[in-house]
Amino acid sequence: MKRIDFKNTSAQKIYNDYFKRIERCSTVLSKEDRTDLIMEFNSHIYEGLQKNTAKDELEGLLNILENLGMPEEVLKPLIADKKLRQATKTFNPKHVFQAIKLNIKNGIVFGVFGLLYLFLFSTIFLFIAKIVLPNNTGLFYSNNEFQSFGFVRDYKGYNEVLGIWFIPLVLISTIILYLTITLLLRIWRKK
């Protein structure tokens, strides 16, 4: 592929760097697709420079690259889609794994939040369990060794050490957990 030559050395550096980024984030593509992609971006930059209205080469290039967007962001759907096709076509576990990794990012985030919420419900459950079945719920020691925190079916030989303090402890944990999850969710949504 014919690369563009710039008179301005800074422009040349920025251009080279941009292509390095495209190359870096497109390694999952086949060689043919990758060359095609790079050629197309090269063509876009070249055509843009021909119609450049900025005062110099460097500014023109910077405008074009800014409008194009970051390769890491812009190429995400293309790469995820290509990988998924490759994976479903070949059954190769390597491709399948990469495709899942690329496509399921949102899935994982929701999965993590799901787990956190499950954890939250289990603390609420413990709070109720302590009222209904106080002997089975608490912080259990046996022979001065920590045995269990939460709900146990058989508490014989166990020594529950928290007593009624178990309730405020669980309640405070629930509130802290709830606030943390909501805050995390808010940060993630704003992103």
Partner 1 sequence: MNSEFVNKWTSQVKKGTLTFIVLNILKGHEYYGYDLIEQVKKYTEIEIAEGTLYPLLNRLKKENLVTSKWVEQETGIPRKYYTLTNIGNNTLSEMKIYWKKMEESIKKIQK
Per the listing, tokens 């603390």 go with: 123
85 contacts partner 1 (rule: CB under 8 A):
yes
69 contacts partner 1 (rule: CB under 8 A):
yes
Task: Locate 120 and state its tokens.
Answer: 């939250």
Let me know: does 126 contact 137? Beta carbons within 8 Å.
yes
Task: Locate 48 and state its tokens.
Answer: 């843009």
Within 109-168, the residues that bind partner 1 by CB under 8 A are none
54 contacts partner 1 (rule: CB under 8 A):
no
Smallest gap, in angstroms, from Cβ of residue 68 to partner 1? 4
Let me know: does 15 contact 63? Beta carbons within 8 Å.
no
Smallest gap, in angstroms, from Cβ of residue 155 to partner 1? 52
Which 3 state secondary structure label does DSSP give 184?
A: helix
Rounded Cα distance, 90 and 103, in Å: 17
95 vs 130, beta carbon nearer partner 1: 95
33 vs 59, beta carbon nearer partner 1: 33
Residues making contact with partner 1 (CB under 8 A): 2, 4, 36-37, 39-44, 46-48, 67-71, 73-78, 81-82, 85
